[in-house]
C-alpha cells in the first residue's frame, strides 16, 4: 500500500518495479487498510433475503475488482510517469482507491462473500495497460485517468440504481466512491489531461464490460 507521494524524486527503474510489486501483493493478497472510516458503518445492517444478498455480493465483487484494477492502473502509470508531479498525482489518487478497495472488501465479508478469484489476472492486465498508456507521455497518462474515472462514476451510478433497496451499507460506500472518482477526474483534467482519441474509450468500456460480467460470478 502506498503511504502518499514519495519524498524520493529520482527513483531507479528497479525502485519503481519493486514499488509496483509491493502494491500488487498488498492489493491482491493483503488486507489494505483504509485511511478514512467505512461510510457503510453509519447505516444499519439489514438481513437481505438470499437472492438479494447474492446480487448485492455480485455487485460489490465487481466494485472490489474495479478498485483492484484502479490500483494497478495508477501504479503502472506512475511506474513510467516522466514528471514527478504526475507521479505524485497518480499515487495520491491510488491512496484514495485504497480506501475504496478496503471498504468493498469489508462489505463483501459482511455479505458473507469473497473477492473475485481472478483478481491477480485483472491486476496484471491493468498494470500493463497503465504502463502502456503512461509510456505515451504524461498528457496521455492523465487523459487515461479522466476516462477511467468517468466510466467508473457512470457505472457506480448504475449500481446505486440496481442494488437491493434495503442494502443501505453498500449504497453509502458507493455514494462516497462516486464523489471521489468525480474529483479524481476533475483533478486530472486540471493537471493537463488530454482527451483520448477513439477507439481507446470504447476499448476501455469493452474491457470493463467483460470484467463486470466475470467478477459478478467468479
Q: Per the annotation, does 2 bind a ligand? A: no
Residue 18 CA to residue 143 CA, distance in Å, equals 25
For Fe ion, the closer CB: 39 or 166: 39
Owner of C-alpha cell 497503465: 130
Tell the smallest beta-carbon distance from residue 50 to Fe ion (Å).
29
Which positions lie near Fe ion, rule CB under 5 A?
70, 97, 100, 149, 181, 184
Tell the smallest beta-carbon distance from residue 68 to Fe ion (Å).
10
Tell the smallest beta-carbon distance from residue 94 to Fe ion (Å).
9
Q: Per the annotation, does 10 bind a ligand? A: no
Tell the smallest beta-carbon distance from residue 100 to Fe ion (Å).
4
Q: Per the annotation, does 149 bind a ligand? A: yes
For Fe ion, the closer CB: 169 or 178: 178
Q: What are phi and psi of 31, to 5 degrees?
A: -120, 85
Quick check: 140 and 196 in contact, CB under 8 A?
yes
For Fe ion, the closer CB: 100 or 212: 100
Tell the smallest beta-carbon distance from residue 60 to Fe ion (Å).
13
What ranges in the chain are assigned the alpha helix state H? Answer: 13-28, 50-80, 84-110, 119-135, 138-162, 168-190, 200-217
For Fe ion, the closer CB: 97 or 167: 97
Q: Per the annotation, does 64 bind a ligand? A: no
For Fe ion, the closer CB: 70 or 91: 70
Residue 65 burial (10 A CB sphere; 0-12, 13-18, 19+): buried
Q: What are phi and psi of 12, to 5 degrees?
A: -75, 165
Closest to 193 in 3D by CA, of 89, 114, 68? 89
Annotated binding site: 67, 97, 100, 149, 181, 184
Annotated binding site for Fe cation: 67, 97, 100, 149, 181, 184
Amino acid at each position: 500500500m502506498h503511504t502518499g507521494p514519495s519524498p524520493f524524486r529520482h527513483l531507479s527503474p528497479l525502485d519503481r518495479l519493486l514499488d509496483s510489486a509491493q502494491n500488487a501483493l498488498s492489493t491482491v493478497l493483503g488486507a489494505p487498510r483504509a485511511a478514512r472510516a467505512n461510510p457503510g458503518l453509519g447505516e444499519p445492517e439489514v438481513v437481505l433475503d438470499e437472492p438479494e444478498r447474492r446480487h448485492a455480493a455480485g455487485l460489490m465483487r465487481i466494485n472490489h475488482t474495479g478498485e483492484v484494477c484502479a490500483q494497478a492502473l495508477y501504479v503502472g502509470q506512475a511506474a513510467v510517469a516522466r514528471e514527478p508531479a504526475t507521479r505524485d498525482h497518480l499515487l495520491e489518487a491510488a491512496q484514495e482507491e485504497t480506501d475504496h478497495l478496503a471498504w468493498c472488501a469489508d462489505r463483501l465479508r459482511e455479505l458473507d462473500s469473497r473477492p473475485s478469484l481472478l483478481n491477480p489476472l485483472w491486476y496484471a492486465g491493468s498494470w500493463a495497460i497503465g504502463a502502456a498508456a503512461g509510456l505515451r507521455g504524461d498528457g496521455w497518462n492523465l487523459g487515461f485517468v479522466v476516462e477511467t474515472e468517468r466510466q467508473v462514476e457512470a457505472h457506480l451510478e448504475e449500481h446505486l440504481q440496481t442494488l437491493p433497496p434495503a442494502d443501505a451499507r453498500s449504497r453509502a460506500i458507493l455514494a462516497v466512491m462516486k464523489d471521489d472518482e468525480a474529483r479524481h477526474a476533475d483533478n486530472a483534467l486540471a493537471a493537463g489531461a488530454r482527451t483520448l482519441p477513439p477507439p481507446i474509450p470504447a476499448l476501455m468500456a469493452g474491457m470493463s464490460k467483460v470484467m463486470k460480467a466475470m467478477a459478478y460470478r467468479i
